[in-house]
Structure 1
Amino acid sequence: MALGRTAALILIFALVTFLIILSSNNSEEPFNFRDLKIKYHNPPNIRRWGLQDGFISVAGNKTLHPKCNSCVIVTSSSHLLNTGLGPKIDQAECTIRMNDAPTTGYEKDVGNKTTFRVVAHSSVYRVLRRPQEFLSRVPGQTLIFWGPPSKMQQTSKANLYHIIQRASSAFPSVSAFIVSPRNMGRFDELFRAETGRDREKSHSWLSTGWFTMVIAVELCNKVHVYGMVPPDYCSSKRQKKMPYHYYEPKSPDECMTYIQNERGRHGNHHRFITEKLVFARWSSVYNITFSHPEWFSDPEIVSL
């Protein structure tokens, strides 16, 4: 009996090991973005959305107003390392950053100026645990938090709203907003209209990049994005692996992360490459440009 149990455990271990190796190998294979079946159905004009009911002020009766003609989005990508873009980024009218991407120690490449920071519910604690970096260091900035209404509202058991509210009270020079439940529904509907996929049925989580891009279009007349790779970037084998985050040198390889998420069918995954295909279409509609790396106009990508 014991021998049979041991044999069964060995078999299970071997099977799990095989699946891990298979998954790793598949992630390193070229990903053909043309295999993605994307069908957009009369997507709404984001600039016609009203900001008044889209964002809830955490402290006081503040309203989020579009106040920038030109914005830059500084991604968290390691492609920004050794670019020396810091001074140029700091000269921008408005600068948008994401989650817990720091500037301290990386000013040469990513700058220091922060006008807006878009933060996912999963990154709230990482941001608030470092107030010297993300709250007191850049007075006058606006933090925009997004997440499922079940986690972000005043009545939620997760209590994230009250945690954000206390932090906002402690740092009155920082404005804090939460994406409203109605607006969360709009983000989901926009994804469906742009891709033909229901987010929940396709087991997808929208990324912070998706929320940041939409919010940037709402707030800014023109947007320049630093560090975001184009949708076809992982379609050929890359000789050089790139960490997913510039501030985490040991973070997973960028393309491996994108491909694993795009191919994932069980559990919930970000559809990074699908989102980038949408951003490519938006570039001409909403005056969005990309660099480091630069995105070249590809009619085949835009027409997908």
Structure 2
Amino acid sequence: MGQTPQIQVCQACSQGQQSQKMVIFGAIFLLMTLLILYSSNSGNDISPLYSPFRASMPHHAIKVTDLKKWAGKEGYVAVYGNKNMTLHCHHCALVTSSSHVLGSGAGPDIDHTQCVIRMNDAPTTGFERDVGNRTTLRVVAHSSVFRVVRRPTEFLNHTDHKANSAVIFWGPPTKIGREAKGTLYRLIQRVSMTYSNLSSFTITPSKMHKFDTLFQKETGRDRAKSQSWLSTGWFTMVIAIEMCDNIKVYGMVPPSHCGKKPQPKKMPYHYYKPRGPEECVTYLQNEKGRKGPHHRFITEKQVFAHWAKQYNISFTHPTW
């Protein structure tokens, strides 16, 4: 017997639904395949984690922050005594910790600069030919305090014959703030009392908040929500802009450096740690990091490139 029209219609509906499911399944499979291929091909992509930054937008689209107006003693608190942060220099050498300074022979030029700025536990002993010997200002992160204190002759007992030497400690107020009265603050206080040749300061909580706000203004990203840690380089560059009329930066690579093809020569992250992590690997891992706080080194360099046009900043070894 032949099938009734109703049964034939139901079978047609069933076949149509199956065809529709197959089309949907095929589309999903194709989409997943494309995503997998994209992920595998972009594994070495150096594009930042974030969307394009305001720093790369036309100048009129950015609300410019005048960092020269930041300068002032109210942002820094003397750890011991009644000293004020009054350093001002016409010419500054900002010496990074990058291994790109090795072989530069820039030491004499650095030492002839009016003021020399260094970071954390970057030494000069044994590297004088490339990084010089003088230190006018050292900016030290809370995470580097113990390393600096362990070698006082290297980091704390050097005096600058051309200017008054100072050290600025930065970090969460809960760790190095005067009110915290924790181990780190007591250690910093003891160091300040022992080495009276240095003027030691910490950054006030309100000033620390301004550094966070500045990051958001320049990048369009909230520092905390984007799980970003500001680097010592960020603090040092801003402080240098405050105190210096002209800044020459030694050893800092441009934002695009780690994206060059072919890949640039592998270099240690720090010039004084030849067996330490590789520079570009460190930059890229931090820039792309999604879980937990990370430094955004490449992002910060994008901002520095923008600031260079405003604040008489030049870069050498490499030049860009």
- TM bin (shorter chain): 0.7 to 0.9
Pick from 290, 300, 306 the counterpart of residue 265 of structure 1.
290
Tell me, in whole angstroms, the C-alpha distance in 2 between the residues paired with 1:181 and 1:110.
32
Equivalent AA in structure 1 for residue 302 of structure 2: L
Residue number in structure 1 paired with 2:108: 87
After TM superposition, give the deviation of residue 36 of structure 1 in Å.
Answer: 4.3
Pick from 186, 190, 196 the counterpart of residue 214 of structure 2.
190
Residue number in structure 2 paired with 1:104: 125
Tell me, in whole angstroms, the C-alpha distance in 1 between the residues paired with 2:111 and 2:292.
39
Residue number in structure 2 paired with 1:10: none
Pick from 51, 72, 80 the counterpart of residue 51 of structure 1.
72
After TM superposition, give the deviation of residue 119 of structure 1 in Å.
Answer: 0.3
Pick from 144, 163, 167 the counterpart of residue 123 of structure 1.
144
Q: 1:33–1:232: 8 Å Cα contact kept in structure 2?
A: no
Tell me, in whole angstroms, the C-alpha distance in 2 between the residues paired with 1:201 and 1:35.
12
Q: TM-score, normalised by structure 2?
A: 0.81
Tell me, in whole angstroms, the C-alpha distance in 1 between the residues paired with 2:150 and 2:196.
17
Q: Does 1:213 align with 2:237?
A: yes
Residue number in structure 2 paired with 1:285: 310
Aligned residues: 271
Tell me, in whole angstroms, the C-alpha distance in 2 between the residues paired with 1:35 and 1:121.
27
Q: Structure 2: which 5+ residue stretches go unaligned? A: 1-39, 56-61
Q: Does 1:234 align with 2:258?
A: yes
Residue number in structure 1 paired with 2:274: 249
Q: Structure 1: which 5+ residue stretches go unaligned? A: 1-24, 296-304
Tell me how large the CA RMSD over aligned residues is.
1.9
Q: Does 1:202 align with 2:226?
A: yes
After TM superposition, give the deviation of residue 155 of structure 1 in Å.
Answer: 2.5
In structure 2, relative to structure 1, the CA distance for the partners of 1:88 and 1:26 (3 Å cut) is farther
After TM superposition, give the deviation of residue 28 of structure 1 in Å.
Answer: 7.9
After TM superposition, give the deviation of residue 190 of structure 1 in Å.
Answer: 0.3
Q: Does 1:145 align with 2:203?
A: no
Tell me, in whole angstroms, the C-alpha distance in 2 between the residues paired with 1:154 and 1:177.
11
Higher relative contact order (CA 8 A, sep 6+): 1
Q: TM-score, normalised by structure 1?
A: 0.85
Q: Percent of aligned pairs with the same residue?
A: 55
Pick from 178, 181, 186 the counterpart of residue 202 of structure 2.
178
Tell me, in whole angstroms, the C-alpha distance in 2 between the residues paired with 1:173 and 1:89.
21
Equivalent AA in structure 2 for residue 264 of structure 1: G
Pick from 222, 225, 236 the counterpart of residue 246 of structure 2.
222
Q: Secondary structure at the match of 2:192?
A: helix
Q: Secondary structure at the match of 1:89?
A: helix
Residue number in structure 1 paired with 2:36: none
Larger Rg: 2
Residue number in structure 1 paired with 2:33: none
Pick from 89, 94, 97 the counterpart of residue 73 of structure 1.
94
In structure 2, relative to structure 1, the CA distance for the partners of 1:85 and 1:123 (3 Å cut) is same
Tell me, in whole angstroms, the C-alpha distance in 2 between the residues paired with 1:188 and 1:26.
34
In structure 2, relative to structure 1, the CA distance for the partners of 1:92 and 1:197 (3 Å cut) is same
Tell me, in whole angstroms, the C-alpha distance in 1 between the residues paired with 2:249 and 2:50.
26
Deviations 1:12-55 (A, max 9, x none): xxxxxxxxxxxxx9998241359742125514211111422100
Residue number in structure 2 paired with 1:132: 153
